[in-house]
Chains A and B, each alone.
Chain A
Amino acid sequence: MVAILSHNPPEVDDSDTPSDQALLLRARQDPEAFGLLMERYEQPLRRYLMRLTGWGSEEVSDILQEAFIKVYRHLNDYDDNLKFSTWMYRITHNQAIDIIRSSQTKPFLTQVSLEEVANFIPTNKDPESDFMQKDDFEKVRRAILDLPVLYREILILRFLEEKSYEEIVDIVKKPKGTIATLIRRGRAMLLEKLNSNT
């Protein structure tokens, strides 16, 4: 239940559900077991990709399929020190970033819901007085997608995917200090964009 609320897939099994690790071991021999892992992670990763890229379902499916094949090819490269979900996010993230950088396609829709917009506002700001009162959520959503990918990816992982700093470090493969700086600057840029638009 907690996992569903935080949009994260289950990491550990109960008595009936095999754990990610167990499925991983089986998947090295049997692609069908890998199918179960894909099933488990498809929705959370799809949602993450939509938030990150701002692209439609079809484009995101293509990225996801490529990411899954990459995961399968690198099954033996899984580092036991990482959470399996972190590793899945990392590969999917890298796949998406590669495509975003090589593509001229701009985001054409945002998958950030109105309720989620408030997550981006720094805690020392009063969202009600500063932004929400203005009933201008669409501008906020547009500002999020206008952010450079470097900042957008970190903000989405932190505030929408609700990943810990440690997990973000392992997903984007950057040191902790860099992550903290990117979050701080990303928020500042977001506020600046919002202020200049209003």
Chain B
Amino acid sequence: MSALTQKTLQEITEKNIQPISRWQIETKNNVYWVGTLFLVVFSALATAVSFHAIFEIDWQAYQKAHFSWIEMLLSGVPIFSLLLLASFLWGSVFFLQHTRRGYRYPIGVLFGVFFFSSVSLGYFIEESPLNDPAERFLLQSLPHIEKLPVSLFPTTKQQWSQPERGLLGGVVLQSDEKSIELLDSAQKTWTVEYTGAEVSDDTKLQIDDEVKIIGSQSDEDTFHATEIQKWENSHRQEEDSDEEHVESKRSSEESEDDSQEEDDHEEEQDEHEEDEQDDHEEDETDS
């Protein structure tokens, strides 16, 4: 036996060095696999959120408000969720590379595979009924996401809260032939002059109507409109309004039912009073 072998064996015995147990090694390997899987799912969620944000944005409005292409991209692309996606992708590649045979796959291939998986899964989530639970999960996990600047995570509300750049949205408080009073999402009241503006057919500018306005800011609380649209550009909002419509219809039906019941009840009461009156008259005749 060589001197090195003897010395090594002696150290193993003296320090009571033991082989690491199999379960520890398997646990470590499984942690990497599970981590990879979780991060791919998170990447898909980040992709779904990115799709959601991109689909919600009214890109035509940016054009009409004379945004340049670069400004449109900076304002409309959800940089925050894309950064999240990039981090999750990097994490999933890192974890997979640390699995037992993960080193055999080139990083570029892994990024490509995970990216396409995330995009496919993310698109599926966005277009499926899973969208709402996924969105709720994200909002619960990141409650401040909607408060991020429009350049990081654009939402429809934020898109139409840029009066200085020609985009204003809100609820009509009052209207006349020349101007409307509008309450924006920041609870600020605006006077919107719309003489000569293009008003879409489905907009009556009645009180409580939600509208989107393209134009220019005249002074601190005055806005000059060039175009006014009803606030329903996205499929989500259309679904919401459909649901509201169904809800209001349902409530009106219920109120009709209630009134019917009340009518029936009144009729019964009347009949009962009439019977009592008849009995009373008979009693008087008998006496």
Contact = CB atoms under 8 A, between A and B. Distances in A.
Interface of A: 28, 31-32, 34-35, 38-39, 42, 61, 64-65, 68-69, 72-77, 79, 81, 169, 173-178
Given A31-B9, A31-B13, A175 B104 contact: yes
Interface of B: 1-2, 4-9, 11-13, 17-22, 25, 100-101, 103-107
A72 B4 contact: no
Given A35-B5, A38-B5, A72 B106 contact: no
Given A75-B19, A76-B19, A76-B21, A61 B13 contact: no
A73 B17 CA distance: 7
Contacts, number: 68
A175 B4 contact: no
Given A35-B5, A68-B8, A175 B20 contact: no
Contacts of B103: 169, 173-175
A169 B104 contact: yes
Given A174-B103, A175-B103, A175-B106, A72 B19 contact: yes
A64 B8 CA distance: 9
Give chain B's interface secondary structure class.
helix
Contact of B17 (A28, A32, A72, A178): A72
A93 B130 CA distance: 49
Contacts of A65: 4, 7-8, 11
Contacts of A175: 103-107
Contacts of B7: 65
A163 B46 CA distance: 44
A64 B4 CA distance: 8
A34 B9 contact: yes
Contacts of A38: 2, 4-5, 8-9
A76 B22 CA distance: 5
